Structure 1
């Protein structure tokens, strides 16, 4: 991917910016042609809310070269670069757009038959950016089966009504005039796990079911009737 170029007239000033996404603690270092640039009267350096900036004041020929912004934490490091050229024409001329890169890549995703799966990644770069999705190298078209969105640098692919044919490698490709980049991950569709609510459904017999019965003698209950004693006269009058 080509390094973007900024051309300045001698004596002009410019500011380079680099958006950084990551978990703290992040350290940012700027370099000019491999030599570290420090904050001072010539260069103003800041890093606030994920935005790393380098201001070059009253540029001279000695300020020409490739500037690199390197961000690093315990997980690793990333860098981006831009070239500054001094020219005699008046004004600032942007000769190229900023390239982009994926700050959040696709992850391996499991799916269940009949349900939906969501694949997400995030990209940073100069607009306009076009996004394309592929399954096993075949381009996908947004519709009822594959719903594709791109908003706030977040690329989302929703695969609906999953079937076994949806298993495969999915690729998100981002492109602007500075170049293109892509990331991939595998979606694996698995069968449903069915819950059995009725215990009787768990009973299976490979042989006829026999229930032995015994003949019991009939139990005869004798009932003896007798005449009740008449109620006393004072109770019968109540």
Structure 2
């Protein structure tokens, strides 16, 4: 007989709370050389992403470039100085919940 198939199952339509699938990794970098930290997140609806340094939200700062490509999140630090050392975290939030990852960046 025919298999009963009411609707094709599309995984992306299933609502789920944000979950980081790849964490941030600690970095040690040389001052003045561009660097980047990245992680990966999934969630539906698409989570809102917030980057923080030492628990302070990184706003529209020309030093930083934030990218989100299909859930791969990257924070580029253009010309890190010694004062850019610290704890960096990335938070993802949607209607169902939130998740957060963090790492240390040491500039020397």
Could you say whether these structures have the same fold, taking a TM-score greater than 0.5 normalized by the shorter chain as the test? yes
Of the three residues 43, 60, 78, the one matched with 1:160 is: 78
Measured against aligned partners, the alpha-carbon deviations of 1:154-187 in whole angstroms (never above 9, x if no partner) come to: 1110112111110000000001111110000000
Q: Which has the larger radius of gyration?
A: 1
Consecutive unaligned residues of structure 2, counting only runs of 5 or more, are none
Deviations for 1:119-169, whole angstroms, at most 9, x for unmatched residues? Answer: 100001103311000000110024420111112101110112111110000
The residue aligned with 1:110 is 28
TM-score by length of structure 1 reads 0.40
Pairing partner for 1:101 from 19, 23, 28: 19
Q: Distance in 2 between matches of 1:173 and 1:128?
A: 13
Could you say which residue in structure 2 is the equivalent of 1:129? Answer: 47
Q: Cα RMSD between the aligned structures?
A: 2.3
> In 2, distance between residues paired with 1:173 and 1:100?
9
Q: Unaligned stretches of 5+ in structure 1?
A: 1-11, 20-95, 191-238
TM-score w.r.t. the length of structure 2 is: 0.84
Secondary structure in 1 matching 2:79: coil
Q: Cα distance, 1:106 vs. partner?
A: 0.2
Contact 2:18–2:47 (Cα < 8 Å) also in 1: no
Point out which structure has higher relative CO (alpha carbons under 8 A, 6+ apart).
2
Is residue 50–residue 90 contact of structure 2 (8 Å, CA) maintained in 1?
A: yes
Residue matched to 1:176: 94
